[in-house]
Amino acid sequence: MAARVRQPKKPSQGVLPFRQNGGRRAGAGRKPKGEKAMVGHGPRALLAARFPAHVTMKLLRGLPRRLRSKREYTALRGAFAAGCDRHGFRLTHYAVLNDHLHFLVEARDRAALSRGLQGLAIRIAKALNRLWRRAGTVFADRYHDRILKTPREVRNALRYVLGNGKKHAAEGREVAVPQAIDTFTSAPWFDGFRETVTVRGIDAMPRPVTDAHTWMLTIGWRRHGLLSVHEVPAVG
């Protein structure tokens, strides 16, 4: 009688015949583009059309030049002008710092905000890469956004964005603002200063921002007083 040869046992349905590496563990998940992630990757808060948002976008380290330079700022303004009012997304105010950007924006919903910022980021990256004759990533990580739900929050955000260059200068962070207003911001197109501000040459430039539509950014914040060119965000 021939000896029976035992066949290897087949794995049960749904059980993989090799070691799995899933589950929570140190170092798992999407890796940041820079040295560390600027923004967590959890779900973002819902956005109602009546609320503006303050957005920050940080650039990679080691790029050829700083943004607060004449040619870079000209390229940025062109990108802003092309992407400031598209498909329910509006860029109403901005500030350009050496390695990051601040925006005050409006959008009809979270999807419109994401699409608008994605399109704006692509325009910015293409404009800078074309100027620098390079290719590749420009932004360090996801944008950060904060929804502004009260008129005072909006006023504080306006002061922060339009005065951020002065804040950096006061902190000694290699930023100079010799004028009454920071011309690397949308301040030359801002009509909410108590003082009369005149900037020569802006009539010949494409307007890099669009008009706000929300009550918060048109009327609401003004109930707490117009801004002064001398206001600076808290230094610390």
What phi and psi, each to the nearest 5 degrees, are found at residue 21?
-115, 20
- The per-residue pLDDT for range 94-144, each reduced to its tens digit, is 999 999 999 999 999 999 999 999 999 999 999 999 999 999 999 998 899
**What is the separation of C-alpha 94 from the centre of its chain, rounded to a whole number of angstroms?**
9
**Domain ranges, ordered by start, for the chain:** 53-224
d(C-alpha 100, C-alpha 54), whole Å:
13
More confident residue, 231 or 76: 76
Indicate whether 170 pLDDT > 50.
yes
Taking the whole predicted model, whether its pTM rises above 0.95 is answered as: no
Indicate whether 236 pLDDT > 80.
no
Indicate whether 67 pLDDT > 80.
yes
Full strand arrangement of the beta sheet holding 85-86: 85-86, 89-96, 100-107, 53-58, 144-147
More confident residue, 173 or 87: 87
Using pLDDT thresholds of 50, 70 and 90, give the confidence band for residue 21.
very low
Q: What percent of the chain has pLDDT over 90?
A: 66
- The per-residue pLDDT for range 185-201, each reduced to its tens digit, is 999 999 999 999 888 88
Using pLDDT thresholds of 50, 70 and 90, give the confidence band for residue 47.
confident
What phi and psi, each to the nearest 5 degrees, are found at residue 138?
-115, -40
Indicate whether 229 pLDDT > 70.
yes
Indicate whether 23 pLDDT > 80.
no
198-218 b/e with 16+ CB inside 10 Å = b? eeeeeeeeebbbbebbbebbe
- Average confidence (pLDDT) over 7-15: 51
| Nearest one of 221, 86, 207 to 151, comparing CA atoms | 221
Indicate whether 48 pLDDT > 60.
yes
Indicate whether 32 pLDDT > 60.
no
Give the angle 108-159-69 at the CA atoms, nearest 5°. 90
Q: Which of these CATH numbers, 3.40.50.300, 1.10.1270.20, 3.40.50.1820, 3.30.70.1290, describes 53-224?
A: 3.30.70.1290
- The pLDDT of residue 187: 96
d(C-alpha 27, C-alpha 33), whole Å:
14
DSSP calls for 67-119: SSSHHHHHHHHHHHHHHSEETTEEEEEEEE-SSEEEEEEEESSHHHHHHHHHH
Q: Which amino acid is at 194?
A: R
- Average confidence (pLDDT) over 147-169: 95
